[in-house]
């Protein structure tokens, strides 16, 4: 066939490389135009990255709601042939007449018989093994490494050691630098992603550096109805930072805290372990100055 | 120290009880300085120093000084109690080192109490309370086990280990009608029975002191003031369910509570009240503290379990309940620490006696933290079934500043607001639930006419929205949507149909959420919608915040008839929005004003020229174009009204 003919006649077949949302839609559009489609993907299943997303930008639409109908349609479409676990080796030819060579990797499962029950996954003995990726070399100051090592050694034999370790490290460092989290992951055997999840879940932890003094303004109900928002505004105005921010000289971090249990002295704030109660906006400068002097 | 046998423990208890009361032992007077977190924050340390200093001046006084936890009346801290031989103890409040010196001169040396600083122990605040769990707080030194032993400490544990089988204990607690004090009110005996019946071992017991409800601090106070009662309680519970290891989960925001509980556990181990073969019986039990790190959701039991395990602290679906499958997959009972502290009392005095207190379905007493816009702020313990009126007016002493009582908020972010019309409501699990609120952990936040209900529900939704772990979308997205609507209403951008939408959304979140946090998060909104709908309507239709709280709906205004031109607010305004000069009526430039309220605070009460306006008044506000001399303005007004100038 000559190239010019191919542009007018819908004949033959098309190969779509990549079975993500774009590839699936392309295959569906092709078949709607009367062309047989081969949909190939290097992974064991089609769906691509979108199948791992909860929401999509910018509309916050649910990813699965967009995707699921297309997955089903591709799966049952008579004119679409899904070729998973395939790598494209070569493409030769001219528009309208290509020859593509695919290399198929083994699945170790008989696709004709598999019902997709998933019990092989549940029973795989190596499924839960963490596959460590080659990570960048850890750079830790020897002193810090030693402190961390003692902390970890102290708690490692306990059941559920992660929280005590993180709490102790947080108390010394005030935040978790990335290399520290990596080191903890390496020494405890917890995946880094898990440790990161914990380190970002609790409000007492931080992965960004915090100031020497963390000013916790209590925003519990009692303090709130007794005017702690005013205190917060005053501290914020004095230090020129917003809540959850740190002054550029790394001295103060402003935080709102959910009830320090001193409702009898509302409104209150806490710096370090020290609680100041029955405050008005006028008291704020003194307290902030006092921290500075102690330094 | 060797681990004690039963007999040795009894001997020690007897010896200790001789030491605690003046007269029995070697001393004839005892001064107790109350050093809870609130006491220390209010200045108890200098008071303690002053007490020691004064005492040194008196040679051979045979007066001892001890410290203890909170005495309950937090608004009067720092406090001390002076107990002299043959006279009733006297509590002094709101002390300074100077006042301590006077008390020493008159009371300790001459024996004449200083009436003007003393707290009336016969007042309604004390009379209407029934102190069971709190009976030791403010009396015993939390750092000395002898003090606790002297007040029948560990008698219940003795009894449990020698006379009762685990089944007996469960039976007794079930008959007492004790229900969980953490909020949901699940019967403790039944929970234990389920766990006891499980075959899998080991079993665990967890004391929950992740007191996240803002406005509630009874668990903190309990651990700070009487940690041994919790240690005794958790040991009894462990014996009943067959656990040999226990945990107490404490918020990291409570450093003093952690320190004192740690001390108590250490002492109990030394005495052989914890560890292998407790009191030489066949029962092994030890307990350790685990700290939270600032996540509200960790108070939820499955989430708490995940947190101890070091997993991501999200709740999981129940059943299976933790009593069946809990910590590390083993049967686990989680009790609030206040529940645990109730156990020794029930075992000492019997289930019949205990179930005689309270109402048909809610037995015993409950500790509340009575806070907010109330005269007597503090921790109170009252029998179930007491009415709100008694709590607020008799115990609480009413609302400060002759303001109108508007509502009381119970149950924290999961609870609701109970309006003044329901003031005769008896306080128990069921009636609070019926009123659209819940018992919760026992925070009772009183609100007066200056509290805006839209603002309050916005505050709570902001809280739950922040603290939602994000696992289920009804809670995560739902709280976002509610917050968005509430913010709009509070900014005067409310629309018709918003209220119906809030109600519908609230019900959907309740139905679709997995854990308690989501299921209860709409409560503050739904309950305020139920009782204070007119306030929402005022925000939406009239753009009026009746309590004058919502900043976008209010304006600060200086009443020219009252302003003497004193320059106080002019100097105090951080934004420079007040225009004026000496003896000229000041004017607020609305375009610059940030509505911080500094001017209102600064303006002397006898002048009170600065006012807040909202709604129609604010929209039609016309201030003076420029400052006018006060004299000129008053003359002009006198002409207009035909009357003389009043001031």
**pLDDT tens for each residue of B144-196:** 999 999 989 999 999 999 999 999 999 999 999 999 998 888 999 999 999 99
**Do A240 and A191 reside in the same domain of the chain?**
no
Residue B252 to residue A263, Cβ atoms within 8 A: no
Residue B294 to residue A257, Cβ atoms within 8 A: yes
Q: B551-641: what CATH class?
A: alpha beta
Range B286-311 average pLDDT: 92
Residue B372 to residue A170, Cβ atoms within 8 A: no
Residue B213 to residue A237, Cβ atoms within 8 A: no
Which residue pairs from A66-74 have beta carbons closer than 8 angstroms and sit at least 24 positions apart in sequence? A66/A21, A67/A21, A67/A24, A70/A21, A70/A24, A70/A25, A70/A28, A71/A24, A71/A46, A71/A47, A73/A28, A74/A19, A74/A24, A74/A27, A74/A28, A74/A39, A74/A46
Chain B: closest CA distance from residue A190 (Å): 10
Chain A: closest CA distance from residue B240 (Å): 23
Question: With a cut of 70, which residues of chain A have pLDDT below it?
Answer: 1-11, 127-136, 294-295
Chain B: closest CA distance from residue A199 (Å): 10
Q: Which two tokens stand for residue B437?
A: 């609120």
> Which of A167, A193, A200, A225 is the mutation pick for testing B, counting most B CBs within 10 A?
A225
The answer, for B196 touching chain A at a CB cutoff of 8 Å, is no
Query: Taking the domains of chain B in order of start, what are their residue ranges?
Result: 21-120, 152-355, 365-451, 454-541, 551-641
Shortest CA distance from A266: residue in chain B: B372
B199: number of Cβ within 10 Å? 5
Residues on chain A touching B75 (C-beta within 8 angstroms): 264
Is residue A73 one of the residues assigned to a domain?
Answer: yes
Q: Report, in this order, helix, strand and coil percent for chain A, each rounded to 5.
A: 40, 20, 40
**Do A153 and A68 reside in the same domain of the chain?**
no
**Do A11 and A44 reside in the same domain of the chain?**
yes
pLDDT category of residue B645 using cuts at 50, 70 and 90: very low
Shortest CA distance from B472: residue in chain A: A54
Which residues, numbered 444 to 463 in chain B, qualify as contacts with chain A under a Cβ-Cβ cut-off of 8 Å? 445, 447, 451, 456, 459-460, 463
Question: Tokens 């300085």 appear where?
Answer: B33
**Do A241 and A263 reside in the same domain of the chain?**
yes
Q: B152-355: what CATH class?
A: alpha beta
Is residue A156 one of the residues assigned to a domain?
Answer: yes
Give me Rg for the CA atoms of chain B: 28
Query: What pLDDT is recorded for position A273?
Result: 75
**Do A100 and A27 reside in the same domain of the chain?**
yes
Query: What pLDDT is recorded for position B1?
Result: 61
Beta strands in B85-213 (DSSP E): 90-92, 204-209
Range B308-337 average pLDDT: 91
Nearest partner of B313 among B302, B327, B328, judged by Cα: B302
Residues on chain B touching A164 (C-beta within 8 angstroms): 290-291
What pLDDT, in 10s, does the model give residues B343-355? 999 999 999 999 9
**Do A27 and A115 reside in the same domain of the chain?**
yes
The answer, for B310 touching chain A at a CB cutoff of 8 Å, is yes
> Which of B253, B376, B477 is the mutation pick for testing A, counting most A CBs within 10 A?
B253
**Do A166 and A228 reside in the same domain of the chain?**
no
Which residues, numbered 242 to 271 in chain B, qualify as contacts with chain A under a Cβ-Cβ cut-off of 8 Å? 252-256
Residues on chain B touching A167 (C-beta within 8 angstroms): 252, 291, 293
Q: What is the DSSP string of A134-181?
A: --PPP---HHHHHHHHHHHHHHHTSSS-HHHHHHHHHHHHSS--HHHH
Is residue A262 one of the residues assigned to a domain?
Answer: yes
Residue B214 to residue A205, Cβ atoms within 8 A: no
Range B615-624 average pLDDT: 84
Is residue A206 one of the residues assigned to a domain?
Answer: no
Chain A: closest CA distance from residue B560 (Å): 26
**Do A178 and A261 reside in the same domain of the chain?**
no
Shortest CA distance from B289: residue in chain A: A164
State whether CATH 3.40.30.10 applies to domain B21-120: yes
Query: What pLDDT is recorded for position A294?
Result: 59
Residues on chain B touching A266 (C-beta within 8 angstroms): 371-372, 377
State whether CATH 3.40.630.30 applies to domain B365-451: no
Nearest partner of B516 among B252, B237, B193, B208, judged by Cα: B208
**Do A147 and A227 reside in the same domain of the chain?**
no
Which residue pairs from B385-390 have beta carbons closer than 8 angstroms and sit at least 24 positions apart in sequence? B385/B358, B385/B359, B385/B426, B385/B427, B385/B428, B386/B128, B386/B426, B386/B427, B387/B423, B387/B424, B387/B425, B387/B426, B387/B427, B388/B418, B388/B422, B388/B423, B388/B424, B388/B425, B388/B427, B389/B423, B389/B424, B390/B128
* DSSP state, residue B319: S
Output the domain CATH number for residue A221: 3.40.30.10
**Do A196 and A217 reside in the same domain of the chain?**
no
Q: In chain B, pLDDT over 90 holds for what percent of residues? A: 60
Out of 1.20.1440.230, 3.40.50.720, 3.40.50.970, 3.40.50.2300, which CATH number does the structure's domain B454-541 have? 1.20.1440.230
Query: What pLDDT is recorded for position B647?
Result: 43
Output the domain CATH number for residue A63: 3.50.50.60
What is the distance between the alpha carbons of residues B600 and B139, in angstroms, rounded to a whole number? 43
**Do A57 and A162 reside in the same domain of the chain?**
no
Residue B295 to residue A201, Cβ atoms within 8 A: yes
- Paired with B205 in beta bridges are B246, B333
Is residue A136 one of the residues assigned to a domain?
Answer: no
Q: Which two tokens stand for residue B498?
A: 């918003």
Asked whether A266 and A227 are in contact (CB, 8 A), the reply is: no
Q: Which of A166, A233, A261 sits opposite B254 (nearest CB)?
A: A261
- Paired with A99 in beta bridges are A92
Chain A: closest CA distance from residue B251 (Å): 10
What pLDDT, in 10s, does the model give residues B542-580? 999 999 999 999 999 999 889 998 999 998 888 889 998
Chain B: closest CA distance from residue A272 (Å): 10
Is residue A135 one of the residues assigned to a domain?
Answer: no
Query: What pLDDT is recorded for position B646?
Result: 47
The answer, for B96 touching chain A at a CB cutoff of 8 Å, is no
Domain that holds residue A73: 3-121
* DSSP state, residue B312: -
Question: Tokens 């020690």 appear where?
Answer: B12
3-state class (DSSP) for residue B207 = strand
* Number of domains chain A contains: 3
Residue B310 to residue A198, Cβ atoms within 8 A: yes
- Whether omega before A267 lies within 30 degrees of 0, making that bond cis, reads yes
Residues on chain A touching B286 (C-beta within 8 angstroms): none
Query: What pLDDT is recorded for position B642?
Result: 66
Q: In chain B, pLDDT over 70 holds for what percent of residues? A: 98
Query: What pLDDT is recorded for position A4?
Result: 55
Q: Which two tokens stand for residue B365?
A: 């007493």
Q: Which two tokens stand for residue B353?
A: 């006696």
ipTM confidence score:
0.85
Residue A265 to residue B38, Cβ atoms within 8 A: yes
Residues on chain B touching A260 (C-beta within 8 angstroms): 37, 253
């Amino acid at each position: 066939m000559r190239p010019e003919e191919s542009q007018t006649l819908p004949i033959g077949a098309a190969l779509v490389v990549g079975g993500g949302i774009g590839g699936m839609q392309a295959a569906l559009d092709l078949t709607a135009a009367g062309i047989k489609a081969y949909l190939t993907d290097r992974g064991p299943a089609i769906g691509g990255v979108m199948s791992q997303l909860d929401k999509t930008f910018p509309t916050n639409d649910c990813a699965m709601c967009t995707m699921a109908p297309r997955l089903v349609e591709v799966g049952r479409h008579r004119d679409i042939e899904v070729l998973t676990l395939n790598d494209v080796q070569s493409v030769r030819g001219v528009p309208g007449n290509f020859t593509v060579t695919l290399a198929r990797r083994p699945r170790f499962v008989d696709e004709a018989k598999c019902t997709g029950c998933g019990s092989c996954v549940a029973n795989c003995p190596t499924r839960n093994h963490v596959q460590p990726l080659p990570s960048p070399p850890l750079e830790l100051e020897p002193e810090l490494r030693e402190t961390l090592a003692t902390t970890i050694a102290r708690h490692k034999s306990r059941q559920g050691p992660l929280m005590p370790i993180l709490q102790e490290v947080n108390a010394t460092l005030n935040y978790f630098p990335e290399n520290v989290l990596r080191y903890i992951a390496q020494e405890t055997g917890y995946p880094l992603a898990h440790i990161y999840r914990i380190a970002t879940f609790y409000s007492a932890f931080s992965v960004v550096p915090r100031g020497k003094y963390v000013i916790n303004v209590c925003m519990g109900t009692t303090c709130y109805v007794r005017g702690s928002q005013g205190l917060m505004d005053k501290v914020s105005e004095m230090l020129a930072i917003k809540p959850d921010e740190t002054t550029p000289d790394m001295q103060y971090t402003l935080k709102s805290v959910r009830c320090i249990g001193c409702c009898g002295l509302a409104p209150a704030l806490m710096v370090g372990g020290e609680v100041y109660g029955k405050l008005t906006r006028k008291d704020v400068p003194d307290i902030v100055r006092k921290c500075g002097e102690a330094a | 120290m060797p681990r004690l046998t039963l007999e040795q423990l009894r001997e020690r208890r007897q010896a200790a009880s001789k030491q605690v009361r003046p007269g029995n032992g070697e001393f004839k007077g005892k001064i107790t300085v109350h050093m809870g977190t609130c006491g220390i924050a209010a200045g108890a340390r200098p008071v303690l120093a002053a007490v020691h200093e004064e005492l040194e001046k008196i040679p051979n006084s045979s007066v001892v000084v001890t410290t203890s936890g909170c005495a309950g009346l937090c608004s009067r801290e720092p406090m001390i109690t002076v107990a002299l031989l043959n006279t009733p103890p006297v509590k002094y409040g709101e002390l300074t080192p100077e006042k301590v010196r006077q008390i020493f001169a008159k009371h300790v040396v001459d024996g004449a109490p200083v009436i003007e600083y003393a707290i009336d122990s016969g007042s309604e605040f004390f009379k209407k309370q029934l102190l069971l769990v709190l009976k030791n707080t403010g009396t015993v030194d939390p750092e000395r086990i002898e003090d606790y032993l002297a007040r029948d400490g560990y008698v219940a544990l003795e009894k449990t280990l020698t006379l009762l089988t685990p089944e007996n204990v469960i039976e007794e607690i079930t008959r007492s009608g004790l229900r969980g004090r953490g909020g949901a009110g699940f019967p403790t005996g039944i929970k234990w029975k389920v766990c006891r019946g499980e075959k899998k071992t080991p079993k665990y017991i967890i004391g929950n002191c992740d007191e996240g409800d803002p406005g509630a601090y009874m668990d903190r106070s309990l651990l700070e003031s009487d940690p041994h009662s919790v240690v005794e309680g958790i040991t009894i519970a462990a014996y009943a369910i067959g656990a040999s290891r226990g945990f107490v989960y404490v918020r990291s925001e409570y450093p003093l509570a952690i320190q004192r509980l740690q001390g108590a556990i250490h002492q109990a181990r030394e005495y052989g009240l914890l560890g292998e073969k407790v009191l030489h019986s066949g029962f092994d039990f030890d307990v350790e503290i685990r700290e939270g790190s600032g996540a509200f959701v960790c108070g939820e039991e499955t989430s708490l379990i995940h947190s101890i395990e070091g997993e991501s602290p999200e709740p999981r679906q129940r059943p299976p309940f933790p009593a069946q499958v809990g910590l590390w997959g083993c049967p686990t009972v989680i009790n609030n620490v206040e529940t645990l502290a109730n156990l020794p009392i029930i075992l000492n005095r019997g289930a019949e006696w205990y179930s005689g207190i309270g109402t048909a379905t809610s037995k015993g007493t409950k500790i509340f933290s009575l806070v907010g816009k109330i005269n007597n702020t503090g921790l109170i313990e009252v029998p179930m079934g007491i009415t709100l009126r008694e709590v607020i007016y008799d115990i609480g002493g009413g609302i400060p500043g002759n303001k109108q009582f508007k509502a009381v908020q119970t149950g924290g972010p999961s609870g609701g607001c109970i309006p003044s019309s329901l003031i005769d409501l008896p306080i128990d699990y069921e009636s609070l639930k019926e009123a659209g609120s819940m018992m919760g952990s026992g925070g009772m936040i009183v609100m007066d006419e200056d509290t805006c209900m839209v603002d309050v529900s916005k505050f709570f939704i902001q809280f739950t929205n922040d603290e939602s772990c994000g696992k289920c979308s009804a809670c995560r997205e739902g709280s976002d949507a509610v917050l968005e609507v509430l913010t709009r209403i509070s900014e005067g951008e409310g629309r018709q149909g918003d209220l119906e939408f809030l109600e519908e959304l609230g019900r959907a979140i309740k139905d679709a959420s997995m854990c308690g946090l989501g299921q209860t998060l709409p409560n503050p909104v739904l309950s305020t919608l139920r009782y204070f709908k007119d306030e929402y309507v005022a925000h939406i239709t009239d753009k009026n915040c009746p309590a004058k709280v919502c900043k976008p709906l209010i304006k600060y205004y200086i009443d020219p008839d009252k302003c003497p031109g004193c320059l106080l607010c002019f100097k105090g305004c951080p934004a420079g929005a007040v225009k004026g000069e000496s003896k000229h009526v000041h004017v607020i430039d609305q375009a610059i004003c940030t509505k911080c309220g500094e001017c209102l605070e600064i303006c002397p009460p006898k002048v009170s020229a600065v006012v807040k306006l909202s709604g129609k008044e604010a929209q039609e506000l016309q201030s003076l174009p420029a400052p006018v001399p006060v004299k000129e303005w008053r003359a002009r007004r006198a002409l207009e009204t035909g009357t003389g100038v009043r001031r």
